[in-house]
Structure 1
Amino acid sequence: MELGKLEDYESKMTQYAEKIIELTREIEILEKKPDASNDAALEALEVKIKQVEALIKELQLSLKSSTAVFESLHREVTVMIGTLDQLEKTHDKNLVLLTRREYIRIQMELEECERRHQELFNPNIGSCVHAGIIKVSKPIVSQLNAHLTTSYIYGGWGKDSKPIRDRESMYWFSADSGSYINDIRFYTNYKNLVLRRPFLHHTIPNDWRGIGSNYIVRDNTLYYQNYSPLGLTKYNFTSARYESRVIPAASQTFSYAKFSHQIFDFAADETGLWVTFATDESNGKMVVAKINEESFGIEEQWQTSLYKPSINNVFMVCGVLYAVRTVDIQNEEIFFMFDTKTKQEKQISILFERFQDKYSNLDYNPADQKLYMYNDGYYVNYHLWFNHTAEATAEPPFALNKTEPNLKM
């Protein structure tokens, strides 16, 4: 019952964020063209603000809480309604600017509320003291990608799995209608992601062109599959330097079930950086390899019994490989796990819903313990629950950045 309440709360928080962003757009229009506003438009805007106020009350009831965050949000919306009352009478541009500033402040309150929610949802972020995944939430859909088209089916999105200082809230996105990796965009926070306002748009030069969708961002570095020669590539945005590696044993024959060209699949978890691939020698069975982030070389690798063309994607959590396959037109299943510490593998069954039919990228992020999926052009993510009641596994060899305010060890 408590888990159900948290899922319901996450859904309501998403609704709230969308409403705040929509209202922010309308306030920006008023700011730019104050003379174009009329009584009807201002009245409609006031109604929407009151709807947000009602949603805040609903959130309070859903959590049976009267926390300072919710009380503050309620006060801010009350002030905004009063400001709009004056705006209706005067059409004063200064009041419009004041209202916009109040929206920015309430957005900051929203981010604080999300941080508090994250601590409630996953109080052990950064820790591997659990016995694996036991549940996946319903899909949380942000919106269509920044290109506003469903034809961009190849791609990925998410957050840096090991964010540098002051980039903890940053999101990234890259996609194309073909299977090539041509560029990547970065957004300071969730709001700017949804508003399609990148602070950095990096174009990959032709000599370093990538292919496939199984790329990630870690420690301000993009890791992806190089087009020619086929191999591993990384680009560090701090040093502005490219670097590549070739793995001769990796086969170009075996890809995932629903998308071609997915030869190498990068992943990150609490223990570091990984890459998976299949080999001709093993007739398409999956190999898990640990990457040294400094040298960009392979430290160790493990052979599994998992046949790569039979699955849709894999991801890593605390040194454990999880494989996903399609069950029916609506559901996916995490059906296989391989523990690199014990070299043991087993069949499991954890079902979760897709939003659309196909997805080209599915990755776990240890910084917030979420799965990020790029699903037929849409940004989708999932919360995970872990088995903390069973015998715990060992702690990861290093902890996440302790200076990050939203991480709790």
Structure 2
Amino acid sequence: MIGSLYFLALLSSTMAWGRVGLWSEGRNETGGSSGDRCTCDAFLPSSTFPIKDLVVVQQTVEEISHKLELEMGKLEDYETKMTSYAEKIIKLTVEIEEMEKNPDAYNEADKGDTKVEIKQVEALIKELQLSIRGSTTVFEPLHIQITAVVAALNRLENTYDRNVVLATRREFIKVQLQLEECERRHQELFNPDIGSCAHTGIIKVSKPIVNHLNAHLNSGYRYGSWGKDSKPVPDRESIYWSSESTSESTTDIRLYTNYKNLILRNYFKYEHLTSSLVGRGNNVIIHDNTLYYQISSSFGVAKLNFTTMKYDSKRIPRASAKLSYANSVSQIFDFAADETGLWVTYATEESGGRMAIAKISEPSFEVEEEWQTSAYKPEVSNAFMVCGVLYAVRTVDIETEEIFYKYDTKTKQESYISVPFERFQYRFSNLHYNPSDQKLYMYNDGYYVTYHLWFNHTAKATVKPPLPLA
């Protein structure tokens, strides 16, 4: 690839705009027509191709790939050593059981040796845990680098010949998949609490992680939503979905088998919602292979199952059609899914525009229970649910959002908090939480963005050996 890029660089640095010529036969150096030589007249733009920029991008991709290989190596080494230590602990457990059964058969020296071995294994495990926990701090800088690479690739792709950039983009996709796999394995080792609600709430949000740039390579698709199925059916845990639009509506849904195909825009299922089914607003989710969204007619809510293609719609009488989020006139209903099930939020005129939370029965598509909050919806930019707790978000300034309010449906307690986080672009049309990976998904002015969340765990999960160490 570098050789071909070098050739292009030489051409672009020596040739300017000129007359287009074709291959011509039958012309030799003396102007004859013996046919012993072929010549080619070509032209290239006067501005040189940014070979340096592309080489920098390629070098950055290689650097990220190398770092990820090191991290994957650490994880593999960790798993191998933990297996070895677990075997030692099992062996020591057997020895201790023998000592307890036959105390007279062992002297104090034997017992002392066993205790020393236990302490040694304990020290080794602690040292191993400390060595691998540093991997967490590696991921965020890598995400920042990847965001910069995405921007550079799209700038080059939109300005110059896309075919030249395509090879580097393919390599970059491989690196993104490496990072996703590395994070997944790290998460399995150190965050076994996925799906657990043993925490007291969100305490931190990561920087925005840009997963995709300009939907359909067109900056006009400013509105939309994207994410993963919050309750995936078996063997479809890796499926992603997206819905992009040039207006505040939901008309098209695309499903992708995995993250790679999402990036490549290679969908396996496409649904165009007809005029009678079209959605209003962009606060939609896919839950259990079913699209939940707001419809235009009579400001109702609807669901469409992609397995059976069965459609159902309802009206929620108390919901006001006049009260939407601060930056939108169309977000009357906002669907959410968390560890405890399916929800929808809206505002009511009886409460003066305060948000209400409704728990939805998935089989009947009816409201099971409703809670009234103090959050005034016209001041809220978006909201989501985590473990039965509503988190409301508001705009602080041109680049900052803040989780400022929470309401716990279990205790009916509410509080004002401050967890700021950064937007990638000015306006966003969709923000929701996915319990399968504990991430926030945002559609931000045509960009697909995610955020990692940190929780205040009341029972912090750690990697533990089979036997408690003395």
User: TM-score, with normalisation over the residues of structure 2?
Assistant: 0.63
Is the alpha carbon distance of 1:183 and 1:253 closer, same or farther for their aligned partners in structure 2, counting shifts above 3 Å?
same
* 2:394 partner letter: R
Q: Which residue of 1 aligns with 2:168?
A: none
Identity %: 62
| Equivalent of 1:321 in 376, 382, 390 | 390
User: Is 1:67 equivalent to 2:76 in the alignment?
Assistant: yes
Q: Counterparts of 1:265 and 1:291 in 2: how far apart (Å)?
A: 12
For 2:61 and 2:329, locate their aligned partners in 1 and report how far apart those are by CA, in whole Å. Answer: 44
**Structure 1 spans left out of the alignment, 5+ residues:** 1-44, 71-101, 393-409
RMSD: 3.0
* Partner of residue 118 from structure 1, selected from 184, 187, 191: 187
CA–CA distance in structure 2, aligned partners of residues 104 and 193 of structure 1: 11
Deviation of 1:229 after TM superposition, in Å, equals: 2.4
Instruction: Give the counterpart of 1:161 among 208, 230, 233.
Output: 230
Partner in structure 2 of residue 149 of structure 1: 218
Pick one of 236, 248, 254 that aligns with 2:317: 248
Q: Secondary structure at the match of 1:65?
A: helix
In the TM superposition, residue 167 of structure 1 has moved relative to its aligned partner by 1.2
Confirm or deny that 1:342 pairs with 2:411.
yes
SS at match of 1:127: coil
Alignment of 1:368-383 (within 5 A): 368-383=437-452
1:304 to partner: Cα distance:
0.7
Whole-angstrom distance in 2 between the partners of 1:357 and 1:198: 28
Q: Which of 224, 244, 247 is matched with 1:175 structurally?
A: 244
Contact 2:292–2:301 (CA<8 Å) still a contact in 1?
Answer: yes
For 1:353-364, list aligned pairs within 5 A. Answer: 353-364=422-433
Q: Which amino acid aligns with 1:200?
A: K
Residue 123 (structure 2) aligns with? none
Q: Which of 205, 208, 219 is the matching residue for 1:139? A: 208
Task: Give the deviation of 1:69 after TM superposition.
Answer: 11
**Residue of structure 1 in register with 2:65 after alignment:** 56
**What is the TM-score of this pair, normalised by structure 1?**
0.72
Contact 1:180 1:211 in 2 (8 A): yes
1:95 aligns to what?
A: none
Instruction: Work out whether 1:205 is the aligned partner of 2:214.
Output: no
CA-CA distance at 1:234 after TM superposition: 0.1
Counterpart of 1:119 in structure 2: which amino acid?
Answer: E
Distance 1:205 1:344 in 2: 42
Seen in structure 2, the aligned counterparts of structure 1 residues 193 and 68 have a Cα distance that, compared at 3 Å, is farther
Alpha-carbon distance between aligned partners in 1 of 2:291 and 2:78, rounded to the nearest angstrom: 36
Q: Give the direction of change, closer, same or farther, for the CA distance of 1:164–1:49 in structure 2 (3 Å limit).
A: same
Matched, 1:274 2:343: yes
Alpha-carbon shift at residue 47 of structure 1 (Å): 11
Find the aligned partners of 2:401 and 2:353 in 1 and give their Cα distance.
Answer: 22
Q: Of 188, 191, 199, which aligns to 1:130?
A: 199
8 Å contact from structure 1 (residues 156, 360) kept in 2: yes
Of the two, which has the highest radius of gyration?
2
Matched length: 319
SS of the residue corresponding to residue 131 of structure 1 reads strand
> Which residue in 2 is equivalent to 1:307?
376
Q: CA deviation at 1:50?
A: 7.6
Q: Counterpart in 2 of 1:405?
A: none
Would the aligned equivalents of 2:433 and 2:441 in 1 still touch at CA under 8 Å?
A: yes
Structure (1 or 2) with the greater helix fraction? 2
Q: 1:289-332: per-residue Cα shift (whole Å, max 9, x none)? A: 00000000000000111100001000000000000001111111
Q: Is the 1:60–1:66 Cα contact (8 Å) retained in structure 2?
A: no
- Partners of 1:46 and 1:150 in 2: how far apart? 26
Letter in structure 1 aligned against 2:68: L
Larger deviation: 196-205 or 216-225? 196-205
Equivalent-residue separation in structure 1 for 2:266 and 2:345 (angstroms): 33
Question: Residues 116 and 171 (structure 1 numbering): CA distance in 2 closer, same or farther, change over 3 Å?
Answer: same
- Summarize the Cα distance change of 1:161–1:382 in structure 2 as closer, same or farther, 3 Å threshold: same
Contact 2:65 2:178 in 1 (8 A): no
- CA change 1:313–1:47 in 2 (3 A) is closer
The alpha-carbon distance between structure 1 residues 228 and 66, as it changes in their structure 2 partners (threshold 3 A), is closer
Using CA pairs below 8 Å that are at least 6 residues apart, which structure has the higher relative contact order?
1
- Which segments of 5 or more consecutive residues in structure 2 lack a partner in the other structure? 1-53, 80-170, 462-470
Q: Per-residue deviation at 1:48? A: 8.4
Instruction: Say if 1:361 and 1:373, in contact at 8 Å, map to a contact too.
Output: yes
Work out the CA distance in 2 between the residues paired with 1:146 and 1:206. 23
| Alpha-carbon shift at residue 59 of structure 1 (Å) | 3.5
Shift of 1:113: 2.9
How many angstroms apart in 2 are the aligned matches of 1:369 and 1:136?
11
Instruction: Tell me how far 1:131 sits from its aligned partner.
Output: 0.6
User: 2:362 matched to 1:293?
Assistant: yes
Change (3 A) 1:48 1:332: closer
Distance in 1 between residues matched to 2:241 and 2:209, nearest whole Å: 17
Partner AA of 2:208 in structure 1: P
Give the Cα separation in 2 of the matches to 1:383 and 1:48: 25
